A and B are shown apart, each in its own frame.
Chain A
Amino acid sequence: MLKRTALFDLHRAAGAKMVDFGGWEMPLHYGSQIEEHLAVRASSGMFDVSHMRAIDVGGGDALEALRTLLANDAGRLVPGKALYSCMLRPDGGVLDDLIVYRLADDQAAYRLIVNAGTAEHDLAWMQHVRDERGFNAELRMRTDLALIAVQGPNARARLIRAVPRVGPIVEALGTFFAAALDDWFIARTGYTGEDGYEIALPSEQAAEFWRALAGADVAPCGLGARDTLRLEAGMNLYGAEMDETVTPLESGLAWTVDWDTPRAFIGRAALESQRANPRLRQLLGLKLLDRGVLRAHQVVATAHGPGEITSGTFGPTVGCSIALARLPAGVALHDEVSVTLRSGAAKALVCRPAFVRRGRVLG
């Protein structure tokens, strides 16, 4: 029996095509994933991401625990700020990627938003580290919360139109900041490359909120559009770009590792020795020059040896197929490479791993 979010009935009533996503029955699309993708870039769209999980971290050693567990430094966070980070194994392999927020109202408290498929494993690992190190830290998985993302250039105006009482907070909220309003938690973050918000709220209020957003002309969008939007924006997907067998350095996430502080975060030693390797693989973007669609696991032939596509799709905004690929050292931007598609070899151009930002096609 697949798990269902609080919005399952609303998705079905809206004509969603439901699929099994990591044990959850989620909407793939509500008619056309391409139309949903374009609606987000042009105007606004909403996503039920309640399969993802909030883990609240409190207690006197909350910050020390997070500075140990996370490769990015939660110590940099001012109240209300958010930070993107990986959580690593001692060998440097990625357990998950997540966003950590420092809660503004309680200076010793933090919230992590983690992936659906890894949430239980993340919590078990955090508990293990906490117990092993004797940290005074409480860890609480918030299964009582629903998560809804509202994204697009009109997200802000429509969110306020749908729920006027969030107006003052939303109007003041800067990018990558979050604030609480009663039992709602509103963050100006997202997974689309557009402006937007991710709201955590009690599950029993989710349906009313979703209906209010629909009434404000926010289009329901499924996982299909979510994937094409994030790939165009150059955002990694756990399980595709990284997993426990690769480090952030091989996954285009070196920028999320904070080396500056003398902080012995778990996995640091492994990353430091890997950093010195001149043959370290790199994550780059690909644009298909021919007709066709790049897909995960397709082999990429380069002048420096073979690589592999980690995620591929057709980008509705860029108008061609795009991909992220793990390629050998030495491959450079603007190199032409060959990808083995179903139909045979096709030419692709190596580019930065980001194709669209704020609705505009890059470079």
Chain B
Amino acid sequence: MRNPADLRYTETHEWVKAQPDGSVLVGITDFAQDALGDLVFIELPPVGKAFTAGQVIAVVESVKAASDIYAPISGSVTAVNDAVRDAPEKVNRDAYEAWLFRLQPQNSTDVSGLLDASAYQAKVDSEK
């Protein structure tokens, strides 16, 4: 299972990709999509809403189970990926391509506090 080196990760299996304009894209990892199975519904947050780190920000529902997605850092939602909401299977096909929402971070340094790829892999290994 892939964990691209240019991303940051959370213990709850979200990935975060820093954008040139200071915003971040957020999705769920390959490990998460594999554990969930085929996704059938994705509930995305309203654009403009502010969240604190660790708050439930989205929900993904698979045939198997529903799972909360947590805000990786504090920030406001500036965009959501409508294409993924209409075709949740895109997340299963390529979890790192299928971003769920874009956040404008409250603090630009918060992302660097997240796990890097090898720390995330260690976390995944410990869950097996």
Contacts and interface: CB of A to CB of B under 8 A. Distances in A.
A314 B37 contact: no
B88 to A, nearest CB: 10
A228 interface: yes
Interface of B: 34, 37-38, 40-41, 43, 59, 61, 63-64, 66, 89, 92
> 7 closest Cβ contacts across the A-B interface?
A314-B40, A34-B38, A342-B66, A291-B41, A314-B63, A293-B61, A32-B38
Nearest to A313: B63
B28 to A, nearest CB: 17
Interface string A118-152: 00000000000000000000000000000000000
B117 to A, nearest CB: 23
A72 interface: no
A116 B34 CA distance: 27
Contacts of A224: 37-38, 63-64
A28 B43 CA distance: 26
Interface of A: 17, 28-29, 32-34, 224, 228, 291-293, 313-314, 342-343
Given A32-B89, A34-B89, A292 B37 contact: no
Which applies to chain A's interface (DSSP): helix, strand, loop or mixed? Answer: mixed
B37 A343 contact: no
Contacts of A34: 38, 40, 63, 89
24 contacts: A17-B34, A28-B37, A32-B38, A32-B89, A32-B92, A33-B38, A33-B63, A34-B38, A34-B40, A224-B37, A224-B63, A228-B63, A291-B41, A292-B41, A293-B40, A293-B61, A293-B63, A293-B66, A314-B41, A314-B63, A342-B66, A343-B43, A343-B59, A343-B66
Contacts of B63: 33-34, 224, 228, 293, 313-314
